[in-house]
Structure 1
Amino acid sequence: MELSIISWNIRGLGKLEKLVAIRRLVLQEKPKILFIQETKLNNFTPVILRGLRCFQKFEKIFSPAVGSSGGLLTIWDPEFFTVTESLSFRRFIAIIGHFRGGQFMCGLVNVYGPSTDTEKLDFFREVLEFLRNHRVAWCLGGDFNAYISCEEKIGSAFNLANMELFRAFISEANLIDLPLKGGGFAWSNNKEVATFVRLDKFLVDDNFLVNFHELNQNLLPKSISDHNAISLVNKGSAWGPKPFKLFNYLMELDGFEEVVVESLKQQKQRNNRLGILSLLKGTKSAIRVWTGKRNILQNGVIPQLEAKIF
């Protein structure tokens, strides 16, 4: 199946030039679903509604800003995605349904994570609980206001605690961070001594990947916001599910090598004639079990948080 979703932190939707920028982006990229963060709107005026008519037909779900901060908007083509349930929260909104031509149920979540460190734990815990309460394939996109590794930031200090927290969330939710094509960072402070961070991204689970075999996550050119828009595109080619996928950071964790070696050893003991694909499949399962059980936050940065999250 084909798929095209765009996520963009627009930094305010109340001005005409922002509406024009969104219309231009939709005409160029032709997405069927649009995630917008930081609308900074408390409600929709007729001007905003007219300005957003960049789809021939569209439906929407909206989470208002708190004062002049935040605000989320998801727009979709109802002929492409049929929504059976929609839910709105302060920092994320979700639509659950199925794509045209597909029968599998999936959830699409538009996310705007808190920038304040003290709010991040509750945010990730709330999203994780929501995902666990709905048995569908998941695709999350937006501005998480967090990064996974030091490679996702240039300039200023690293926040190791927040990195570990984001990693723990991704691991517990069984999500996959697809490689970003077209660049490495989606936000910059545009100062003389600049800071670049990959705050914006899509995360998907295995069930979503099984149905969209050729997913690409792309960094789109920056225009009117200090955030780049991100697109998630599936070309529609069916090559079968990806046999194995692994986060680079997992290989740096203590105990990873031992898990792999022990898994291979046990599989060979059970059946010495296993081929490479069977060995990889068994090892992948062992890694997933290990990451699920491992106290990923036990390295002294925030040792007491795992129980609170999970």
Structure 2
Amino acid sequence: MNLEIISWNIRGLGRLEKARAVRNLIRERKPQFLFLQETKLVVFSKNLIRRMGFGCKYAYANSPAEGSAGGIICVWDPDCFVVSETIISKRYIILMGKFTGSNVVCGLVNLYGPSIDSEKSSFFQELQHVLGRYQVAWCLGGDFNAIIGPEEKVGFSWNFAAMEVFRCFIDSVELVNLPLLGGSFTWSNNRDPPTLVRLDRFLANMSFLELFPNLNQLLLSKSISDHNAIALKNISAFRGRRPFRFYNYLLEEEGFEDVMTDCIGKLKQRNLGFCNLMKGIKGSVKSWSSVWKKHKEFQSAVVEKQIATLEEKIQEGRAVASDLSELIRLKQEL
């Protein structure tokens, strides 16, 4: 079966540029599932789903933020995964169900672990207790805020007790720590010298790996968050060409009003009927939208490539002070 799950600590989803970054990632990867952490949203709407690039059919589950902290969102394709039960907590969302064409019950977990070491033990004990109630194929993804060993952190000190808590949880639930392709770390403080940590990952048990035997865990672009997005991918799937649809976010983009004014003015001079007028407007919007998206995508791609190059230098220890200041500037530009 085809599968791709993307997990990303977005560090706030309320700003337009954050939603646009998610939309660009969704358009490029076309995943069946999206796990977001630290949304910082108390209220979540279907409008935001569409703003992030998903169609009307997509389902979602939301664990709201408390004030301006936390917040978790799962978005999935119900044609791919039929959910029978949803468990929502402050720090995790569990989707219980079956993939289309399979009789195997699966549990997909989007989680955001505590950053305070003293809270990790109770969090993983609670999660272990919940998972232990079900004998299913498990896949856990998200920002665990925990590392397995010293090799997963560069800079500052290690808390070996917290590492042992995380390792005991993995062993007790019989999860497999999948290798990360494309890099070694998923978070950086972007300082000089930098601290690099692998906080984000996917874990799965053997039942899930039997269902998806060709799983790869990939490090994706960090973009405008200080966390890298990661993708869990079985095999790629081509879904065909998407039809053009008009979304409200286009109304807010620079240049849209001028295009509409010019288009309607020209069409009115031709004394067209209402249907032909709407067809002409659709053609103009479609043409402008295509050019606008390609221009924005090109600009974003150039900046993201520069960011990725600097991130690679930082992870390899080749960065200098000017690289860090340039990285901050590029993130602001993006």
- Class of the TM-score when normalised by the shorter of the 2 chains: 0.7 to 0.9
User: Are 1:119 and 2:119 matched, yes or no?
Assistant: yes
Structure 1 residue 173 corresponds to structure 2 residue 173: yes
Task: State the shift of 1:50 in Å.
Answer: 3.8
Contact 2:26–2:52 under 8 Å retained in 1 = no
Runs (5+) with no aligned partner, structure 1: 237-310
Show the counterpart of 1:186: 186
Structure possessing the higher radius of gyration over alpha carbons: 2
Secondary structure, counterpart of 1:231 in structure 2: strand
Q: Do the aligned partners of 2:37 and 2:72 also contact (CA within 8 Å) in 1?
A: yes
Listed as ranges, the gaps of 5+ residues in structure 2 are: 237-334
Pair 1:88-2:70 in alignment = no
Mapping 1:68-83, distance limit 5 Å: 68-83=68-83
Deviation of 1:28 after TM superposition, in Å, equals: 0.6
Q: Deviation at 1:135?
A: 1.6
Amino acid at match of 1:114: P
Partner of 1:18: 18
Q: Hey, what does 2:138 align to over in structure 1?
A: 138
Contact in 2 for aligned 1:217/1:231 (Cα 8 Å): yes
Give RMSD over aligned pairs.
Answer: 1.4
- Alignment-derived partner of residue 109 in structure 1: 109
Measure the CA separation in 2 of the matches of 1:175 and 1:55. 33
- The structure-2 alpha-carbon separation of the partners of 1:97 and 1:8, relative to structure 1 and needing over 3 Å to count, comes to same
SS of structure 2 residue aligned to 1:90: coil
Please give the per-residue CA displacement for 1:102-150, whole angstroms capped at 9, x wherever unaligned. Answer: 1101000001000011211110011100100112110000000000011
CA contact (8 A) 2:177 2:202 kept: yes
1:1-310 equivalences in 2 (<5 Å): 1-45=1-45, 48-55=48-55, 57-235=57-235
TM-score of the aligned structures, taking structure 1 as reference length = 0.74
Q: Distance in 2 between matches of 1:33 and 1:46?
A: 16
SS at match of 1:5: strand
The Cα shift of 1:160 comes to: 0.5
Q: Report how many aligned residue pairs link the two structures.
A: 237
Name the structure where helix makes up a greater proportion of residues: 2
Taking the aligned partners of 1:23 and 1:77, their CA distance within structure 2 comes to: 15
1-structure distance, mates of 2:160, 2:55: 41
Distance 1:179 1:169 in 2: 18
**Aligned counterpart, 2:311:** none
Name the % identity. Answer: 53
Query: How far apart are residue 48 of structure 1 and its match?
Result: 2.5
Matched residue type, 1:42:
V
- Check whether the contact 1:63–1:71 (CA below 8 A) recurs between aligned residues: yes
- Structure 1 61/45 Cα, relative in aligned 2: closer, same or farther at 3 Å? closer
Tell me the CA shift for residue 2 of structure 1.
1.3
Q: Find the aligned partners of 2:197 and 2:118 in 1 and give their Cα distance.
A: 20
Q: How far apart, in 1, do the equivalents of 2:194 and 2:52 lie?
A: 33
Question: Which aligned segments of 4 or more residues in structure 1 are displaced greater than 3 angstroms?
Answer: none
Deviation at 1:73, TM superposition (A): 0.2
Change (3 A) 1:84 1:71: same
CA drift of 1:51 comes to 1.4
- Cα separation, 1, equivalents of 2:55 and 2:225: 21
For residues 122 and 63 of structure 1, do their structure 2 counterparts lie closer, same or farther at Cα, with a shift above 3 Å needed?
same
Shift of 1:56: 5.4
Which SS does the other structure have where 1:135 is aligned? coil
Q: Secondary structure of 1:94's match?
A: strand
TM-score (norm 2): 0.69
8 Å contact kept, 1:188–1:197:
yes
Deviation at 1:54, TM superposition (A): 2.3
CA distance in 2, matches of 1:42, 1:23: 20
Q: Separation in 1 of the partners of 2:117 and 2:66?
A: 18
Question: After superposition, what is the alpha-carbon deviation per residue over 1:249-271, rounded to whole angstroms, capped at 9, x for unaligned?
Answer: xxxxxxxxxxxxxxxxxxxxxxx
Residue 190 of structure 1 and its aligned partner are, at CA, apart by 0.8
- Secondary structure of the corresponding residue to residue 83 of structure 1: strand
**2:50–2:56 contact (8 Å) kept in structure 1:** no
Q: Distance in 1 between matches of 2:190 and 2:102?
A: 42
- Please give the per-residue CA displacement for 1:143-196, whole angstroms capped at 9, x wherever unaligned: 000000111111110111111110000000100010000000000011121000
